[in-house]
Amino acid sequence: MKTYMANNQTVTRKWYVVDANGLTLGRLATQVASVLKGKHKPTFTPHVNCGDYVIVINAEKIQLTGNKWNDKFYYRHSDYAGGLTKTAAKDVMAKFPTRMVEKAVYGMLPHTKIGDDMRRQLFVYAGNEHPHAAQKPEKLEIKA
């Protein structure tokens, strides 16, 4: 019996919507990344983008455990000497409500061309509304 290998022509993609209200950031991100990779499918093939589309709503209502709102920092560098800037999680959430979810999921995806395709399949919205109703997304339950 031959091993099944998916390719771009045989992959079927579905749309899922996830409500992030009250969910912990890391637990949400791991399960969303798994769906984006396609690891939940029996036809998963590592060298092919088998993942589905994921819409995350209410990203502004995620939770962090402990004192991470003050102790968790996001770093960026300007490529100049002394150009390191760090921003606390509460400040990132106040200015860019979707960025924490995006960065958490992006860090769990492959850093390759296939990973770039997977990143394009993630849509994060701060509020309860999203413009993807025409795709008829299914609700995806995230285990807390």
CATH of the domain at 135: 3.90.1180.10
- Estimate to the nearest angstrom the gap between the alpha carbon of 15 and the chain centroid: 14
104, part of any domain = yes
Count of domains forming the chain: 1
144, part of any domain = no
Q: Which two tokens stand for residue 54?
A: 């994921």
Residue 115, Cβ density class (10 Å: 0-12 exposed, 13-18 middle, ≥19 buried): middle
Q: How far does the chain reach from its first CA to its final CA, in angstroms?
A: 39
Q: Please state, in angstroms and as integers, the Cα–Cα distance from residue 121 to each residue in 47, 48, 91, following that order.
A: 17, 14, 27
Ramachandran area for residue 79 (φ above 0: left; ψ -120 to 50: alpha; else beta): left
30, part of any domain = yes
78, part of any domain = yes
8, part of any domain = no
How many H-runs (helices) and E-runs (strands) does the chain carry? 5, 6
83, part of any domain = yes
Over residues 87-102, the pLDDT tens digits come to 999 999 999 999 999 9
Domain membership of residue 87 as a residue range: 15-139
80, part of any domain = yes
115, part of any domain = yes
pLDDT recorded at residue 84: 98
Segments of the chain scoring below 50 in pLDDT: none
pLDDT recorded at residue 26: 96
Q: Which of 56, 59, 37 is nearest to 119 (CA)?
A: 37
Over residues 63-89, the pLDDT tens digits come to 999 999 999 999 999 999 999 999 999
pTM: 0.93
pLDDT recorded at residue 3: 87
Beta carbons within 8 Å of 67's beta carbon, 6+ residues apart: none
